[in-house]
Structure 1
Amino acid sequence: MVARPRSGHRPCHGGTAIPARHPRTHAPSIAEAGAWADVLVRHRLLHAAVWAPNGQWLVQHHTDSPVQVLANATAMVDLAAEIQHHIRTTRNDTR
């Protein structure tokens, strides 16, 4: 049985439907970005993520990788979305 896309959904590579991403109506707060950073570090998807007082985020993917500077909270949330997308599109279909 093949899932058919419903209104407001777009097909995924495997034929399953996933909700279409709607654009944000507001910029993410520092607290939201911090929550995502905590989750990514706790689940070992990032080695470190630190907020700087100037609004930037310092991110390190692995212990030996260079530090990446993200411009603001929006960039941190976008990174979290990219990591989620990567996880969802590369995991095995064992369900």
Structure 2
Amino acid sequence: MVRRTPDHRPYRGGHIIPRRNPPTDAEARAWAEVLVHRRHLYAAVAAPNGQWLVQPAPAAPVRVLDGPAAVLDLTAQIQRRIRTPEARGR
């Protein structure tokens, strides 16, 4: 079942809690730490200008993300990827 809300992308299953505030730096730091700890990213570093530098693997190119919202978007992409039926079957 696909649910749509005015301010969110379609989401399959679960509940969508609408955000009332933009993502914070602390929230982005916490998710980045989890992604690195769980080895979904090799590195994630906050730059002084608010951007984030992320690297999925040691030899992979570094990506530049524009702020905490982009970190949370990347987190959601990774979660969708690892929660697909094909990923669970591995």
CA-atom RMSD in angstroms: 1.9
Count of aligned residue pairs for this structure pair? 80
Find 2:61's aligned residue among 47, 66, 81. 66
Superposed, which structure 2 residues align to 1:35-74 within 5 Å? Answer: 35-74=30-69
What stretches of structure 2 of length at least 5 have no aligned partner?
Answer: 3-11
Contiguous gaps of at least 5 residues in structure 1: 1-9, 12-16
1:31 corresponds in structure 2 to 26
**Higher alpha-carbon Rg:** 1
Runs of 4+ in structure 1 over 6 Å off: none
TM-score, normalization by structure 1: 0.75
Q: Paired residue for 1:92?
A: 88
Structure with the higher fraction of residues in strand conformation: 2
What whole-Å deviation, never above 9, does each CA across 1:36-86 have from its counterpart, x for those lacking one?
000000000000000001000000000000000000100001100110010
Amino acid at match of 2:16: R
Q: Distance in 2 between matches of 1:92 and 1:30?
A: 31
Residues 1:75 and 2:70 aligned together: yes
